[in-house]
């Protein structure tokens, strides 16, 4: 199907390096042509031996490198707005890691800029929409098998948080995934959020409110609860149980081979998202490459990124000030009316 899609990757940290490897060795139809990171050594290391990649420490200059036809943004959240707007200025399609933009004002500026262009260019990296378990849950809910959805019970545990991870980031980085998954699974907007603060774990860094218990309300009366615990120490666990009027379904309990010996059964527990969601990231990036080469943009939209930022920001306000905080979205531009909520199609 024609020439390979030349991709510039901005940010060569954990996710950026993994996406560079994926574009180079896992997905078909694309090649990495430029990598930018202010930490040049990190970028060189992530590129490894891949031939013909221009390494740059100026992220925006990388967008103008020869052969760049699309951009994958894997820099920290606060850098996303500038990168997205620069990609839009150049008419380049983008896959942008979550959170699209942590603050809702900046997220809205991205939505407005894309709406002004009159065509979608951005797909947001909510990879759970490409996970086999989440897709099955979505199809059970959409097919009516569980009846009218009443509740989602979610668990989101990380072994440990990276340096610099703040209490707000449990909501606007970690729970941003549950916010998107809940909106997508239920096909409803979130209307209010309450964050409760259990006693912090002694395993959490000093001053970090970890775990947190987050409760969302939706426009048609469903409740979504999330236990988020990013220094649990024992494994990467992401679970979701949907409870409807006619049944329930739970995902995220899958294990590898179970070994039974000496009176006990044991199975491996993934230690991070790169393992737990490996297949989902592969599907997400392949789907982005395929759609981009056909001149299309699918998957979670800038509107989904914005809606997630608004809900997360309300959550951070509840975390910091206590109480229930309403979630109010701006008017949805017509651009997002039809396919703003679609997922791995
Ligand atoms: N979808 C998912 O499950 C996950 C998504 N993420 C998201 O991926 C993004 C990156 O996270 P990590 O890789 O964990 O962070 P990281 O800290 O490991 O790497 C970030 C890299 O970006 C570089 N950087 C800083 N400013 C930059 C700029 N303006 N332009 C280009 N590069 C810049 C840093 O030098 C660093 O090498 C974040 O948005 C994060 O929320 C992270 C983990 C999992
Ligand atoms: O997106 C991610 C990280 O940024 C976040 O910090 C983790 O809590 C999530 O599990 C991971 O999927």
Neighbours of 210 (CB within 10 A): 24
Per-residue model confidence (pLDDT) at position 256: 80
pTM for this one?
Answer: 0.96
Q: Is the pLDDT of residue 340 over 80?
A: no
Per-residue model confidence (pLDDT) at position 338: 58
Q: Is the pLDDT of residue 253 over 90?
A: no
Report whether 71 contacts 87 (CB < 8 A): yes
The mean pLDDT value for 54-60 works out to 94
DSSP state of 277: T
- Tens of pLDDT, residues 260-312: 999 999 998 999 999 999 999 999 999 999 999 999 999 999 999 999 999 99
Please name the helix (run of DSSP H) or strand (run of DSSP E) that holds residue 130, with its range, or none: none
Per-residue model confidence (pLDDT) at position 254: 76
Q: What domains sit in the chain, N to C, each tagged with a CATH number?
A: 5-128+280-300 (3.40.50.720), 129-276+307-326 (3.30.360.10)
Atom 7, ligand 2: residue with shortest CA distance: 174
Report whether 93 contacts 71 (CB < 8 A): yes
Ligand 2 centroid, distance to 173 Cα (angstroms)? 6
Q: Is the pLDDT of residue 341 over 70?
A: no
Q: Measured between alpha carbons, how far is 59 from 82 in angstroms, rounded to an integer?
A: 10
Q: Measured between alpha carbons, how far is 197 from 174 in angstroms, rounded to an integer?
A: 16
Q: Ligand 1: which of 76, 125, 175, 181 to mutate, judged by most atoms within 8 Å of the beta carbon?
A: 76
Atom of ligand 2 nearest to the CA of 156: 10
Q: Is the pLDDT of residue 31 over 60?
A: yes
Q: Is the pLDDT of residue 345 over 50?
A: no
- Tens of pLDDT, residues 144-188: 999 999 999 999 999 999 999 999 999 999 999 999 999 999 999
- pLDDT bin (cut points 50, 70, 90) of residue 1 is low
Q: Ligand 1: which of 9, 10, 14 to mutate, judged by most atoms within 8 Å of the beta carbon?
A: 14
Ligand 1 centroid, distance to 97 Cα (angstroms)? 8
Per-residue model confidence (pLDDT) at position 54: 97
Which has more confidence, 41 or 254?
A: 41
Q: Ligand 1: which of 60, 75, 122, 159 to mutate, judged by most atoms within 8 Å of the beta carbon?
A: 75
Q: Measured between alpha carbons, how far is 108 from 310 in angstroms, rounded to an integer?
A: 9
Q: Measured between alpha carbons, how far is 242 from 141 in angstroms, rounded to an integer?
A: 8
- pLDDT bin (cut points 50, 70, 90) of residue 142 is very high
Ligand 1 centroid, distance to 21 Cα (angstroms)? 15
Q: Looking at the CA of 226, which ligand is closest? A: 2
- Tens of pLDDT, residues 81-106: 999 999 999 999 999 999 999 999 99
| Max CA distance (Å), the chain | 65
Nearest alpha carbon to residue 222 among 147, 321, 295: 147
Atom 38, ligand 1: residue with shortest CA distance: 76
């Amino acid at each position: 199907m024609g020439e390979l899609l030349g991709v510039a990757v901005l940010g060569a940290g954990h996710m950026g390096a993994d996406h560079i490897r994926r574009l180079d060795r896992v997905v078909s139809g694309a090649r990495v042509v430029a990598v930018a990171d202010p930490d040049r050594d990190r970028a060189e290391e992530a590129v490894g031996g891949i031939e013909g990649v221009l390494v740059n420490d100026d992220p925006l200059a990388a967008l103008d490198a020869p052969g760049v036809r699309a951009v994958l943004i894997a820099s920290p959240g606060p850098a996303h707005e500038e990168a997205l707007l620069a990609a839009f200025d150049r008419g380049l399609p983008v896959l942008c890691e979550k959170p699209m933009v942590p603050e809702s004002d900046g997220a809205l500026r991205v939505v407005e800029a894309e709406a002004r262009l009159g065509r979608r260019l951005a797909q947001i990296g909510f990879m759970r929409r490409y996970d086999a378990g989440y897709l099955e849950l979505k199809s059970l809910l959409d097919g009516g098998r569980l009846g009218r959805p009443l509740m989602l019970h979610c668990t989101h545990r990380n072994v440990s948080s990276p340096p610099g991870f703040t209490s707000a980031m449990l909501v606007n980085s970690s729970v941003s995934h549950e916010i998107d998954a809940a909106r997508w699974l239920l096909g409803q907007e979130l209307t209010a959020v309450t964050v409760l603060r259990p006693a912090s774990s002694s395993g959490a860094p000093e001053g970090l409110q970890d775990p947190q218990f987050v409760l969302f309300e939706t426009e048609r009366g469903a409740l979504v609860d999330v236990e988020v615990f990013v220094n649990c120490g024992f494994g990467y666990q992401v679970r979701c149980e949907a409870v409807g009027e006619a049944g329930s379904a739970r995902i995220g309990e899958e294990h590898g081979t179970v070994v039974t010996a000496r009176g006990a059964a044991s199975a491996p527990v993934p230690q991070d998202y790169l393992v737990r969601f490996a297949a989902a990231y592969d599907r997400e990036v392949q789907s982005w490459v395929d759609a981009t080469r056909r001149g299309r943009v699918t998957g979670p939209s800038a509107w989904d990124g914005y809606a997630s930022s608004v809900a997360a920001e309300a959550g951070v306000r509840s975390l910091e000030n206590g109480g229930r905080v309403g979630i109010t979205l701006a008017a949805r531009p017509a651009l997002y009316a039809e396919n703003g909520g679609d997922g791995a199609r």
